[in-house]
Amino acid sequence: MKAFELQNPVTLAEAARLLPTKEGDESARLLAGGQDLLTELKHHLVEPDRIVNLKHVPGLDAIEWGADGGLTIGALVTLQDLAEDERVRRELPILAEAAESVGSPQIRAMGTVGGNLNQRPRCWYYRNEHAVCLKKGGTECFAYEGRNKYNAILGGGPSYIVHPSDLAPALVALGAQLMLASPDGQRQVAAEDFFTLPSEGNVLRETVLAPNEILARIVVPPPASGMKSTYLKFQERSSYDFALSAVAVCIWMDGKKVKEVRMVLGAVAPKPWRVKRAEALLAGRELDADALKAVGEEALRGAEPLAENGYKVPLTKGLIVRALQKLS
Ligand SMILES: Cc1cc2nc3c(=O)[nH]c(=O)nc-3n(C[C@H](O)[C@H](O)[C@H](O)COP(=O)(O)OP(=O)(O)OC[C@H]3O[C@@H](n4cnc5c(N)ncnc54)[C@H](O)[C@@H]3O)c2cc1C
């Protein structure tokens, strides 16, 4: 590992000032729980001169409920604390289930919410220090014609990574807002707009976060009454693993009929993949066999599997059916 200077700012503004201002300047990186960053350093995927440790900034490790029932989660809240929070489990099961599905107990004890949303791709070409793929400034996505069992079936190109975060689809489904701090102040971005496709923004990044911005807090608005929610994830290894596919669903029923639904797919696209046409198809319908079949077809419409990941299409349709059956 390349030697680096460790800096321990005590305010968000100070931390943000220690970060680079120019796109492409990799001289400093933020450190939260270190579960992803340390691996990147050890594998020479990033070689910053400075590590800016967020852990001395007070107030970022709190889970707070507003009088209106909204929830604010500090970026340094651990996945374990989020998964174990009694009120989160009761009122926002989608979030507790997503946090609980991440990695192993050790990873959840150290990993933070902010780090989870900003973690880098798991594609093994990206993770191999010798493969200079598109995500590392190369000219080619090696997964496209290479080993692509774990890659994108939706929204891919020119890079075919999938976003690895389990929390991200759940927060998009909940309509969460992300509070970003920089030396110039704060701005608010909807979770849905935070993540980008490789074809939309900078292919070297997965979010709209500027180099000197820090994710400070996540605000989940108070859910409209009657919301039921769940996060279902399919993983190859049950002890701990990244998702092969996942589905985050928030639903409001009116008797036996769907009043409203928000549905976001995970691990099938470079960003959490909201399926608005499938949501619209369910409005006003009972969740009978025809509706469940139709919603799966609509959600996966436009999927373009690569050579080794066609299995994600039926797998994801199955997860959608299971999630909706569970909630109804
Ligand atoms: C073996 C293993 C299995 C895993 N399984 C899963 C899984 O099943 N599901 C899943 O979702 N994840 C999984 N992960 C990923 C893990 O959950 C994340 O790496 C972890 O949550 C990152 O949190 P951290 O606090 O350790 O982040 P760090 O490693 O400290 O940071 C991660 C990245 O985010 C940046 N960053 C950190 N905090 C902020 C912030 N507040 N604002 C802006 N940028 C920030 C850092 O600069 C870095 O690039 C796994 C990881 C491992 C090693």
The protein residue whose alpha carbon is closest to atom 28 in ligand 1 is 34
The DSSP H or E segment spanning 204 is none
Nearest ligand 1 atom to alpha carbon 39: 53
The structure tokens listed for 5 are: 């200077």
Q: Evaluate whether 180 touches 216 at the Cβ level (below 8 Å).
A: yes
Residue of the CA atom closest to atom 2 of ligand 1: 103
Q: What is the number of the ligand 1 atom nearest to the C-alpha of 35?
A: 26
136 Cα: distance to centroid of ligand 1 (angstroms): 18
- By most ligand atoms within 8 Å of CB, the mutation choice from 6, 26, 35, 127 for ligand 1 is 35
Distances (CA, A) of 290 to 35, 82, 98, 262, 315: 43, 36, 28, 19, 18
| Residues 167, 270, 175, 20, CA torsion sign | positive
* DSSP 8-state secondary structure symbol assigned to residue 151: S
Ligand 1 pocket check for 35: Cβ under 6 Å: yes
**Of ligand 1's atoms, which has the minimum distance to the CA of residue 46?**
49
Contacts 24+ apart (CB under 8 A), 287-292: 287/256, 287/258, 287/324, 287/325, 287/328, 292/320, 292/321, 292/324, 292/325
Q: 267, 232 in Cβ contact below 8 A?
A: no
Residue spans of beta strands (DSSP E) within the chain? 5-7, 28-31, 50-53, 63-65, 71-74, 177-182, 185-190, 214-220, 228-234, 245-254, 257-266, 273-274
Task: Ligand 1 pocket test: pick from 118, 212, 240 the residue with the most ligand atoms within 8 Å of its Cβ.
Answer: 118
Maximum C-alpha span of the chain: 61
Q: Report the 10 Å Cβ neighbour count for 314.
A: 12
The DSSP output letter for 217 is E
Domains annotated on the chain, with CATH: 228-327 (3.30.390.50)
Residue 231 in contact with residue 97, Cβ under 8 Å? yes
Nearest protein Cα to ligand 1, atom 53: 35
16 in ligand 1 pocket by Cβ < 6 Å? no
Give the residue, by CA position, lying nearest to ligand 1 atom 9. 102
CA 39 to chain centre: 19
Distance, CA 317 to ligand 1 centroid (Å)? 28
Ligand 1 touching residue 196 (CB < 6 A): no
CA nearest neighbour of 218 among 257, 252, 174, 250: 174
Residue with CA nearest ligand 1 atom 1: 103
Q: Which single residue is written with the structure tokens 């090696």? A: 142
Q: How far is the CA of 119 from the centre of ligand 1 (A)?
A: 4
Q: What is the pLDDT of residue 173?
A: 98
| CA geometry: angle 242, 244, 246, nearest 5 deg | 90
Mutation probe of ligand 1 site: the residue of 27, 36, 50 with most atoms within 8 A of C-beta: 36
Structure tokens at 145: 């014609």
Per-residue pLDDT of the chain (328 residues; tens, 9 = 90+): 899 999 999 999 999 999 999 999 999 999 999 999 999 999 999 999 999 999 999 999 999 999 999 999 999 999 999 999 999 999 999 999 999 999 999 999 999 999 999 999 999 999 999 999 999 999 999 999 999 999 999 999 999 999 999 999 999 999 999 999 999 999 999 999 999 999 997 999 999 999 999 999 999 999 999 999 999 999 999 999 999 999 999 999 999 999 999 999 999 999 999 999 999 999 999 999 999 999 999 999 999 999 999 999 999 999 999 999 999 9
**pLDDT score recorded for residue 117:** 98
pLDDT for res 201: 79
Peptide bond into 223 cis (omega under 30): no
CA atoms of 111 and 79, how far apart (whole Å): 6
